[in-house]
Structures are given as C-alpha cells and as structure tokens.
Structure 1
Amino acid sequence: MNANVAPHYQRLTRDNAVLLIVDHQVGLYTGVRDIDTLELKHNIVGLARAAVALHLPIVLTTTTEKMWGPTIPELKEALPGISRIERTTVNAWDEPRVVAAVKETGRRNLIVTGISTDVCLAFPAMAALDDGFITYAVIDASGSFTHAQADLGVMRMIQAGVIPVGYSNVAVEILGDNAAPEASAVYAALGMPFAGLVFNLSQYFSGQ
C-alpha cells in the first residue's frame, strides 16, 4: 500500500482542498473520444464555477499553447481573474511553478482534472500522491483519446492510490450543508437535472 494514501476516509472541505485543472485546451478537445465534448465542457465548467463559489484555491495549467491552443473559452470565462501557468513538460507536476502554486495554498487534498485522463490527469495525480498529497481524480471532468486509454489511466491511478471522484459529488461533499449560503450557487454551477427543483423548493419553504 502506498504510504501516502489516507488510511481512512478524510472529508473534503473548503479549508483542506485545492483544485488543479490541467490542459483543458481547444486543440486537445478535438481528440477526445471517451466522453461527449459538450458533456465534458458542462462538467469541467460546472466544477470550476462551484469551486469559485466555494472559494477554493484553483491552479490552472496549459501545455505548449502554440501546439495545443489556449484554454477552452467556456472554462476561461468561468475562472475570471485566475491566470494560467503555461509549461512544456508532459507531466504538470514536473513544472516547479505548478508544484509551488499548489503547495502555497497549504492544502494537502488535491483535486485534479485534465485532458487526457491517462496523461494530463494521471501523471500529476500520481506524482502529487508520491509527493505527500492525497489526490482525487475527477474522472467525468476529464477526457481521453480512446476508451481504452481512459480505462487504463483510471486503473493505473487507482492502483497507485489516487481516489476517483465525479465532478458533482466532490463539489457537494465540500459544500457539506444545503443551508450554507453558497448552496444555491453551487447547485446552479453544477447544472444537475434536479438542481432547479432543489432551488425552487428552497425558495418555496423559505417563504413559508
């Protein structure tokens, strides 16, 4: 068992988590085949907006933009004021500025998403794990170029001790309480089918 893996469940909170978004770039999206790109955009943008609503620190990276293009515009719009770290390394964790940005937050629970699942997500998630972080891979806010590559990337991460999560459940876990002032913003950001119902019910009961 990896010595860095948490021996028991540790709840993600606003105070212990940081989000690392790796290489959600226009050019890389053209090759995604394991998830519909509209669904992928919905999920990563929802996660980003929820993280902003929850006041989580966010680190955004790109790789070799002259080759793979800029961050997708939908994600850039969801992260106003957050500058990206452009690098050339394949593994984002091999870039000292990325590691420094994450470590400066003082948080040890690292939530990671990236394109592709088996490289941009898996490599930094496993490297950060080896560096003492507890890492969570957001599988449905990541994409890969084949289903096989995605499956192999997920299996490799799990074998290493990375914890797989979904874009909505990780945000709702951090929210923690539906009475929190950020609840409406978080559910609206996630865009889940029942979120409108939750909001309408809360408005109804608050008026009673």
Structure 2
Amino acid sequence: MLVDHQPQMAFATKSHSLETIRNNVAGVAKSAKLFGVPTLLTTVASKTFSGPIFPEIKAVFPDQAPIDRTTMNAWEDQRVVDKVKSFGKKKLVIAGLWTEVCVVDPVLSAIDAGYKVYFISDACGGVSLEAHEMAVQRMIQAGAVPITWLQYLLEMQRDWANQKTYNDVLTIAKDHGGAYGLGVIYASEMFGGKEGH
C-alpha cells in the first residue's frame, strides 16, 4: 500500500531528501510489480491540495487509478479497507508520506484489524527527522516491522538461483540501489560474467 506520495506532501518532507524518497518508492513499486504483489495506491485530496501521485509510481502502474481520500487515516476509507481485504493476504506492507500521520495511522489500524504490518521506513518521510523517528518508534512498539526498500526487494528474490526474476532484480538494483547498484554494474563489467551477489 503506497500512501500519499504526492507533491504537496513531499514539499514539507524534511526527514529524507525528496530525491531519496522518489528513488526509493520507485524501487518499491517496481519490486512489488515484479513479484506480483497486489498493490493499492492511495492519495489524499489530489485535486484540491496534494496533487497527483508521483510519476515514478504512475509509470509502474499506469492503468491503476489511486483511491483518492479525504481522510488522513487511509484505513478510515472503506474503499481502502475493502481493497486490502480483496487481496486475501494477512500481511500488509506500507510506505507513504508523512510517516507521523498518513503512515502511522493506517499501520496502527491494520494491526488492530489483525494484519501483520511491515513499513518501508526509507520510502516514508516526515516533516522532520524527529517526527519520522517518533512515528517509527510508535509503529514498532505497536508490533509493526520496519524494513527498507532494498531489503523488500531482496527478501522477495531470496535466492540468486531464481532465474525467473534474477535479471529484473539486478536491473532494479542498478537503477535504484545506489552503491549496491553500482557494485552490480562494476562486477558485470569487470568480470564479464553473470552479475549477482
């Protein structure tokens, strides 16, 4: 579930650079699509205040219209809850802006509803580093599990022998994995064989 990755929310995000958030959420979106993870996109007041979903997300899910809400807590919009239920999964992974409102609220609500919830901390951002960190602590104390976007990708790959997704995982890593991605490029060019771990 990707929540409120929108310009107006991003402008006030100070816990991470906007470039980092955009890069990381693009990595999350591509990872979810590659591994067939049912993905819900949601925005808040897109026409009247916050603007459209990030183009990086739209590029990955071009035919999926985000559920546009008025509620700060996405879990208080029945369309969101119904969509999550339709996936038939008991684990939920969430990333969004801002960590201290539009992420923490649905995380806590989903936990109360019986879901095992993970949040991708480096694809979230708050209005200050303290706001982000306090929200992270609150979610952990409530039982949510923090992960990073690269961890998300590599946990789904699990085994480099999985050739079905191998090349696509490395492409996502090269495009969004920073130093790790550069290492993949380096290994390929220096040693001329298969890229990988």
**TM-score w.r.t. length of structure 1:** 0.84
Q: Of 20, 38, 52, which residue of structure 1 is paired with 2:33?
A: 52
Task: Say yes or no: does 1:76 pair with 2:58.
Answer: yes
**Which amino acid in 2 is paired with 1:178?**
W
**What amino acid is aligned across from residue 135 of structure 1 in structure 2?**
V
Higher share in helix: 2
Work out whether 1:184 is the aligned partner of 2:179.
no
Query: Is 1:25 the counterpart of 2:11 in the alignment?
Result: no
Give the one of 37, 40, 43 matched to 1:62: 43
Count of aligned pairs: 187
- Cα deviations by residue, 1:136-194 (Å, 9 ceiling, x for unpaired): 01100011111111111011111111111101102211121222211221232242133
SS at match of 1:182: helix
- Who is 1:36 aligned against? 17
**Which of 127, 139, 145 is residue 157 of structure 1 equivalent to?**
139
Q: What displacement does 1:56 show?
A: 0.9
Q: Deviation digits for residues 97-122 of structure 1, max 9, x if unmatched? A: 11111111111110000100111111
Identity %: 30
Quote the residue 1:14 is aligned against.
Answer: none
What does residue range 1-150 of structure 1 map to in structure 2 within 5 Å? 20-65=1-46, 66-150=48-132
Q: Distance in 2 between matches of 1:110 and 1:37?
A: 24
Unaligned runs of 5+ in 1: 1-19
Q: Which amino acid aligns with 2:193?
A: Y
- What amino acid is the match of 1:38? E
Tell me which residue corresponds to 1:204: 193
C-alpha distance in structure 1 between counterparts of 2:172 and 2:119, whole Å: 19
Q: Hey, what's the Cα distance between the residues in 1 that align with 2:140 and 2:101?
A: 14
Offset, 1:74: 2.0
Q: Name the CA distance, whole Å, in 1 between partners of 2:102 and 2:192.
A: 41
Moved more, 44-53 or 72-81: 72-81
TM-score normalised to the size of structure 2? 0.89
Equivalent residue letter for 1:148: E
Q: Partner residue of 2:181?
A: 195
What SS does structure 1 have at the residue aligned with 2:119? Answer: strand
